[in-house]
Amino acid sequence: MNVDTGRSPVSALPDRREVILPTGRVSYRQAGSGPDIVFLHGLAGNSGTWMRQFEYFADRFQITAWDAPGYGCSDTVTPEIDVYGDVLGAFTASLGIDRFILLGHSMGGVVAGNFSGRYPDRVAGLILSCTHLGRNQRPSAPLGAKYLARLAQYEEMTPFEYGRARARSMTAPGCAPQILEDFAQIAAETRKEGLEAAMRAISEADNRTPFASLDMPVLVLAGDLDKTVPKALTEGLIAAVPEGVPSFSVHYLPGVAHAPYMEDAEGYNKLLSDFLLSL
């Protein structure tokens, strides 16, 4: 279901801002007013990932999308998932955002799950998008073959070639040209130090323990053609969500892969809207 209007909302993105934390800078985009939603992007993303969500939700919510450590203008931090979660906590607190709805996609979902289990009182609702529990790899072990191949690709290609390669590999066949172009532009901004650190953090992450403390409504979204985070990893995450959470729902979006927020923004945003209305 790769339908696009032919119009890119890139120009409608709010400008980047920055805060300075003890761990360094964090850059972000923010727009709208109302209840707070915080968006966390994946390995090939940044705060611009959420262009179609800014456009759709900013009239009803305050949308804050960070650039993860090492992305955008954000400084790198120690590549440990607890550190990323603590930076998220300090970042939101610095903006006066105490309790919020949290959406994490892929790598951002690993951070979101970690944060939500460790600081459940701060999360009013959790959306886990195309993500997993972490790869539970032994600390300091070599990165997996797929991550090493991606780093080699980054070194061998120009930024935009890399962006286009990521766009093709993470979307479903027949994806609309404008979606591919938007995705490629965002992925082309990737910085190697941020990519490598994030790979290390999610490779060594194991969110099974934090998940045991989840006590907020949870929504899991996935693309039914996603090969980046295959269904087995999604099912492992689903199984780890405690039975006692206030509400829990799972949706596989048909005909899309690892970027449903762009590939089928209409369907993705509708599912988000339904969840937000239920809170």
CATH code where residue 227 lies: 3.40.50.1820
Task: Give yes or no for a contact between 204 and 134, defined as CB atoms under 8 angstroms apart.
Answer: yes
Q: At what angle do helices 192-204 and 81-94 cross, to 10 degrees?
A: 120
Q: Pick from 213, 168, 207: which is nearest to 187 by CA?
A: 168
pLDDT of residue 87: 98
Question: Is 2 part of a structural domain of the chain?
Answer: no
Residues 164-187: tens digit of each pLDDT: 999 999 999 999 999 999 999 999
Question: Is 167 part of a structural domain of the chain?
Answer: yes
pLDDT of residue 36: 98
Residues 97-133: tens digit of each pLDDT: 999 999 999 999 999 999 999 999 999 999 999 999 9
Alpha-carbon gap, residue 162 to 165, rounded angstroms: 5
Alpha-carbon gap, residue 133 to 47, rounded angstroms: 22
Cα distances (Å, whole numbers) of residue 247 to 124, 125, 144, 214, 239: 12, 9, 35, 11, 14
Sequence letter at residue 233: L
pTM, 2 dp: 0.95
Question: Is 5 part of a structural domain of the chain?
Answer: no
Question: Is 3 part of a structural domain of the chain?
Answer: no
Question: Is 185 part of a structural domain of the chain?
Answer: yes
Tokens of 26: 């964090």
pLDDT of residue 9: 44
Cα distances (Å, whole numbers) of residue 203 to 50, 87, 162, 196: 24, 18, 22, 10
pLDDT of residue 140: 86
Question: Is 52 part of a structural domain of the chain?
Answer: yes
Mean pLDDT across 11-23? 92
Quote the strand ranges of 48-112, DSSP E: 62-66, 100-105
pLDDT of residue 12: 72
Please provide the average confidence, as pLDDT, over all residues in the chain. Answer: 95
Coil vs helix vs strand at 73: coil
The number of distinct structural domains making up the chain is 1
Sequence letter at residue 231: K
Task: Give yes or no for a contact between 43 and 195, defined as CB atoms under 8 angstroms apart.
Answer: yes
Cα distances (Å, whole numbers) of residue 110 to 6, 31, 102, 171, 270: 32, 24, 12, 20, 23
Residue 80 confidence (pLDDT) above 50: yes
pLDDT of residue 235: 98
Q: Pick from 199, 201, 189, 193: which is nearest to 87 by CA?
A: 201
Question: Is 1 part of a structural domain of the chain?
Answer: no
Place of tokens 């195309």: 130
Residues 64-75: tens digit of each pLDDT: 999 999 999 999
Question: Is 54 part of a structural domain of the chain?
Answer: yes
**H or E element, residue 16:** none
Task: Give yes or no for a contact between 70 and 108, defined as CB atoms under 8 angstroms apart.
Answer: no
Place of tokens 């993705």: 268
Coil vs helix vs strand at 233: helix
Sequence letter at residue 202: I
Alpha-carbon gap, residue 71 to 75, rounded angstroms: 7
Task: Give yes or no for a contact between 255 and 1, defined as CB atoms under 8 angstroms apart.
Answer: yes
Coil vs helix vs strand at 90: helix
Range of the domain at 39: 10-278
**Confidence class for position 8, pLDDT limits 50, 70, 90:** very low
